[in-house]
Structure 1
């Protein structure tokens, strides 16, 4: 994997090609299929949990009052759905140990 600061789809596919021996075309298809499945699950309101990695969680945030930091004027913030990521305990330990 390249150490460019950002892991890309191409990096994931290249890793599958190198480590597992899939053709580059098949590796790219596998990465796309996994991402498509994750997106479809999230779009339908499901959370996505990857054991040992973390969980993508959908949360509904209610309407609230915000404040314009420049003017101080209060403005309503509409309710919305947000996507958050919670790293697994194993991932948190790996990240802390690597730093």
Structure 2
């Protein structure tokens, strides 16, 4: 099964041709979107585009893990992660 990914350049070109906007304008909007999402999630806010996707910061508890090479127990500190959830429209598009 071949891995098919779309690069940012391909995405920008596709959106630009669909909307009639310039690629530089579309690229600026995408950069601003990702920057704003990152800032909001980093500050603890949840970002949601209803039906499509949501991003939120979650706290993880400290836990004990194992080094897979040696089998020795290691302490994994508490931390923060990003949770990304697909919305109903995105899920339906995949079916």
2:85 corresponds to: 86
State TM-score, norm by structure 1: 0.80
- SS of match in other structure, 1:40: helix
Whether the aligned pair in 1 keeps the contact of 2:44 and 2:56 (CA below 8 Å) is no
Q: CA deviation at 1:64?
A: 0.6
Tell me if structure 2 keeps the 8 A contact 1:9–1:31.
Answer: no
The runs of 4+ residues in structure 1 deviating greater than 6 Å are none
Q: Is the 8 A contact 2:56 2:83 kept in 1?
A: yes
Structure 2: runs of 5+ lacking an equivalent: none
> 2: CA distance between counterparts of 1:80 and 1:38?
19
CA distance in 1 between partners of 2:75 and 2:63 (Å): 6
* Unpaired stretches in structure 1, ≥5 consecutive residues: none
